[in-house]
Chains A and B, each alone.
Chain A
């Protein structure tokens, strides 16, 4: 299949740069997949697992949260706020974060702001757990 140039640049540096067949990720409007020769395009990134299909057909997964995806004259650039390849996700830490957020949300007296923050933490933890490499299965 036709490939195109993909750059993934997060705050932690260049996460990926090279030719790929496809990237699929969760945008603010639902899942999108970008194939070669896509028109100029721009959308915000939501929270979810991103799948990158490399030129040789292997699929890499990553947790991808926030930021922007742009297609400009055939070059696809992804600027995620958080981008973690499935191998790099600390599953234990994500699980602990999920527990903590759930505990906090049980508290009735939680202020609105703190509740929102805890909900965001829970969502991030869930995305990480969902994107982490499935071992033992």
Chain B
């Protein structure tokens, strides 16, 4: 019994120290989350209205002189996958990768991973990687977004791939984050499928000076903006996921400690009772 009690005591200690770590991680994530959430909420309207407008433009566009607007013959897909730098964030990374696997079925793909976990994942699976330069999602600045966008535009124009797709985790609320994807290049991919099939008159759009110049000027900035806002949203999602996961871990640890202490106290009492019984029995003889 004594040996058992010692083991229980050790176990309580180890659970306690784990709890300290998960608690600390929870607090860190919670405090970082506040700022990240603000940033994400600021950039969300930009991303949403911009994509909405481009869908309108794609639906109404019938001028395909710019390489960015015409439907591509090239069947190679580039996926920009924004994941986290670290694990221990519940299902944040694995949900995104699972979602992405279901998206890419049967496609010839290349990826541009953003975030260390994303780089590791695709390296492990031997998926061709465009560049590993942007491995740390936490360190990406607005000017990095512009260089990523330039890289995307240049390699798109060179014909290295025909479609660009973006995968990130949308921040719905503190409790729910959902992996999402969106087509970002060419603009014609954004058009709604049903709009293509019916032949109703499309609204005319005036481009000034002309559509080619407009798209060539606007697309790099649009990509940089989309990347920047989806990165901010992903970062907020990661922190929220980590906070929730660590909160659950802390709660579990507390419960375990409670059960173990109960067990320990029972064992202690049993051993005392036994000792008394033994002494009493000895005195009676």
Contacts and interface: CB of A to CB of B under 8 A. Distances in A.
B46 A40 contact: no
Contacts of A43: 207-208, 214
A14 interface: yes
A39 B49 CA distance: 19
Given A28-B217, A67-B218, A81-B225, A11 B208 contact: no
A115 interface: no
Summarize A's interface: helix, strand, loop or mixed.
strand
A86 B271 CA distance: 79
Interface string B193-216: 000000000011111110101100
B56 to A, nearest CB: 5
B45 A39 contact: no
Interface residues of A, number: 26
B221 A81 contact: yes
A28 B221 contact: no
A44 B218 CA distance: 6
Interface stretch (A51-59, A70-78, A98-106): A70-78
A72 B56 CA distance: 8
Interface string A7-18: 101111110000
A86 B202 CA distance: 39
Contacts of A14: 45
Contact of B206 (A40, A73, A79): A40
B205 A11 contact: no
B270 interface: no
A28 B217 CA distance: 8
A105 B229 CA distance: 32
A11 B229 contact: yes
7 contacts: A28-B213, A40-B204, A72-B53, A72-B56, A77-B49, A79-B49, A81-B225
